[in-house]
Homo-oligomer: A and B are copies of this chain.
Amino acid sequence: MRITRRKTFNAGHRLYRPEWDDEKNLEVFGSCSNPNWHGHNYTLFVTVEGPVDPHTGFVMNLKSLSRLIDSFVISKLDHRNINLEVGFMKGKIASTENLAVGIWEQLEKPVREHGARLYCVKLWETENHYVEYFGDKKS
- The answer on a CB contact under 8 Å between A126 and B10 is yes
Inter-subunit contact A10/B127 (CB<8 Å): no
Partner of A37, one of B37, B58, B96, B133: B37
Please determine whether B80 and A36 come into contact, CB atoms closer than 8 angstroms.
yes
Q: What number of copies of this chain does the assembly contain?
A: 6
A22 at the A/B interface (Cβ < 8 Å)? no
Query: What does the 1/0 interface line of A14-29 toward B look like (CB < 8 Å)?
Result: 0101000000000011
Instruction: Find out whether the CB atom of B94 lies under 8 angstroms from the CB atom of A8.
Output: no
Tell me whether A100 is interfacial, beta carbon within 8 Å.
yes
Q: In chain B, what residue has the closest Cβ to A32?
A: B79
Give the residue of B10, B28, B41 whose beta carbon is less than 8 angstroms from that of A56: B28
Min distance, Cβ A113 to any Cβ of chain B, angstroms: 19
Binding site for B on A (CB under 8 A): 1-8, 10-13, 15, 17, 28-32, 34, 36-41, 47, 51-52, 55-59, 61-63, 78-81, 84-85, 92-98, 100-101, 126-133, 139
Among all A-B residue pairs, the 4 with the closest Cβ atoms? A39-B39, A57-B95, A57-B93, A31-B79
